[in-house]
């Protein structure tokens, strides 16, 4: 106990501690296989980004009302994976 008290006293004398963090976010991923043209599919998804985000946010208005919800759509092309040729939507 005395050691913790001394450490607190030294930290306080040196200006104390400060912390910060980023907001908590989750990432959802969808893997789609057997797409004939990966680059066209990527373009089409990103062209409809606003519509996709709107649909996702209409799914659970309570989450959106609490400050959550879908914020972005990214599409990453993966030429080869253990599952085959595919792309990932993040």
* 41-61 tens-digit pLDDT: 999 999 999 999 999 999 999
pLDDT for residue 90 is more than 50: no
User: Does residue 22 surpass a pLDDT of 50?
Assistant: yes
Average pLDDT score over residue span 65-73: 91
pLDDT of 74 above 80 = yes
Contact by Cβ (8 Å): 85, 26: no
Angle at the Cα of 53 (from 45 to 81), degrees rounded to 5?
A: 45
Question: What residues does 75 pair with on adjacent strands?
Answer: 89
Q: What per-residue confidence (pLDDT) applies to 54?
A: 95
pTM score, two decimals?
0.63
Helix (H) or strand (E) holding 87: strand 86-89
């Amino acid at each position: 106990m005395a050691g913790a008290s001394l450490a607190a006293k030294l930290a306080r004398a040196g200006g104390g501690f400060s912390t910060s963090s980023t907001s908590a976010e989750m990432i959802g991923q969808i893997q789609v296989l057997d797409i004939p043209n990966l680059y066209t599919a990527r373009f089409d998804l990103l062209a409809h980004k606003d519509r996709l985000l709107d649909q996702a946010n209409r799914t659970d208005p309570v989450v959106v009302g609490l400050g959550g919800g879908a914020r972005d759509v990214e599409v990453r092309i993966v030429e080869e994976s253990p599952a085959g040729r595919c792309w990932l939507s993040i």
